Amino acid sequence: MRRSHEPVAWSLFGAGGMLLAFIGPGLVLTTALLPWLAADDPQATHAAIGALLAHPLGKLLVLACVALPLFHTLHRIYHGLHDLHLPAPRLPLQLLCYGGATLLSAVTGWWLLQV
């Protein structure tokens, strides 16, 4: 029997799911809600986020927080479409979902290097 290469997709899916579950709510709170609701000085918060993005570890964290959930979501959509009996061949769908996640991750990486 031929070994499936699904573990690659499933690992990214699992990592994205874990990340979303553990730090997703915290990220929404600290980057989207708190600066507007609680912080005295939104401009200082903006500068702090800018400093985070300037640091290599900060870039890596943001890349992980964008790329892994992308793979998670598109993997689930890909298999969800199969479960919904979408009458489409697998390869174009795989290209669209995993290719899309790869492309958007690459764009994020490129953008992070520009900051």
Question: Where do contacts with other proteins occur on this chain (CB under 8 A)?
Answer: 1-8, 10-11, 14, 79-80, 82-83
Residue from 75, 85, 88 nearest 7 by CA: 75
Nearer to other proteins, 59 or 75 (CB): 75
CB nearer to other proteins: give 4 or 43.
4
To other proteins, the closest distance from the beta carbon of 30 in angstroms equals: 31
Structure tokens at 50: 């800018």
Of residues 6 and 41, the one with the C-beta less far from other proteins = 6
Q: Which amino acid is at 37?
A: L
Taking the C-alpha atoms of residue 58 and residue 105, their distance in angstroms, rounded to an integer, is 16
Rounded least distance, CB 78 to other proteins, Å: 10
Distance (Å) of CA 26 to CA 4, 22, 50, 107: 35, 8, 18, 24
